[in-house]
Amino acid sequence: MSWEETLDYYGVLIEEEGKKFLTEAKKAAKAYHPFIEKVYSNIEEFVLRKGKKLASCSTLLAYEGYAGKIDNRILKACVSIELYRHCILVHDDLVDEDAQRRGGKTFHRLVAENYDDRLGCGTGVFVGDLMYALTLQAMLNSGFSQEKLNGVTLLLLEGYRNVNESQMLDLLFEFKEPGVDEWDVMASKRAASLFEITILVGGILGNAPERDLQILREAGMHMGYSFDIQDDIIDTFASLEQYGRPPGGDIALGKKPLHIIYTFKLASRDALNTLKNLASKERISPDDLESIRVIVRESGALEAAKEEAKEHAEKAKTLFAKTGLSDETKKFFTSMITYIEESLDWYK
């Protein structure tokens, strides 16, 4: 199977297990109050919405790469990882005031449109919290040994703390011009942390040898960095058709993706003034965004960000090769990372 087929194949299995878990949770909610039952239906739709399950499939493949098989326990653990990723997204979308996520409404918008913004945003806050509790409950009920679950719980706590710290810095960067080093520090706890955790969880549950755990952690980190940089490039450089929603959202919010930070470093003073004027406009038109793209591109910043993404991708591949993961799992990670590297060239 190609890595895309693998993602699709395992994605369906994780989805089925997720449906079981959330059906149980919905039953308990129904006994409490019809509104909360509806909230759990929304959670179900949001978590199981179509899309590549990169994080949980990374857990699953890392597990299979050591255990030699998949079983019901790891599917339950992957449901936990999906909940983990989505509880982060609920708060991320809320704070960034995003309306769309993977072809549907963001969680707070789902509720807001049936009531109003106050109930939508409030529910968004509380649902993100609730989903993190569900994350740990799903993991602790996966059926693995208590010893392994202890290790994995500590990782999910470390990861959640990390990602929330990086989210605050990401927000702070709307108020300042961070340097490349500062961006690297912030991003070390974002997607880098997510993939560190998800791959390590699979390794721990699959009985990876001690020496592999540190390598997996670093491999996940570099993989996460490359995804993160690519993701941000897409937000600025993708077309509406490629992206499925209007590009330029990060820049409109005053966020500082790596290619913008490189622009601060590399562009001429005039170009930079133009960029800042455009980026601070109340409404950034498609033409404004195109002018911003030209400045980022011509300063060499786009290329510099792509280079950094590629360096991380190459490091990740080298590290995966050093582990005792099965050849199939190595092939999965390597071809997925190569795809990310190659896809960088689509955005010019």
Footprint of a second copy (CB under 8 A): 29, 32-33, 35-36, 39, 91, 94-95, 115, 118-119, 121-123, 125-130, 132-134, 136-137, 140, 146, 150, 153-154, 157-158, 160-161, 164-165, 167-169, 171-172, 174-175, 182, 185-186, 189
Rounded least distance, CB 131 to a second copy, Å? 9
Rounded least distance, CB 63 to a second copy, Å? 22
Whichever of 121 and 213 has its CB closer to a second copy, that residue is: 121
Whichever of 252 and 272 has its CB closer to a second copy, that residue is: 252
Whichever of 154 and 294 has its CB closer to a second copy, that residue is: 154
Whichever of 193 and 230 has its CB closer to a second copy, that residue is: 193
Question: With 0-12 CB in 10 A as exposed, 13-18 as middle and 19+ as buried, what is 281?
Answer: exposed
Whichever of 36 and 54 has its CB closer to a second copy, that residue is: 36
Whichever of 40 and 347 has its CB closer to a second copy, that residue is: 40
- Which among 307, 319, 306, 316 has a CA at the least distance from the CA of 336? 316
Rounded least distance, CB 11 to a second copy, Å? 26
Rounded least distance, CB 14 to a second copy, Å? 21
Rounded least distance, CB 91 to a second copy, Å? 5
What lies within 8 Å, CB to CB, of 253 at 6+ separation is 96, 97, 174
Q: How far apart are CA 194 and CA 200, in angstroms?
A: 10
Rounded least distance, CB 42 to a second copy, Å? 11
- Which among 268, 308, 275 has a CA at the least distance from the CA of 294? 275
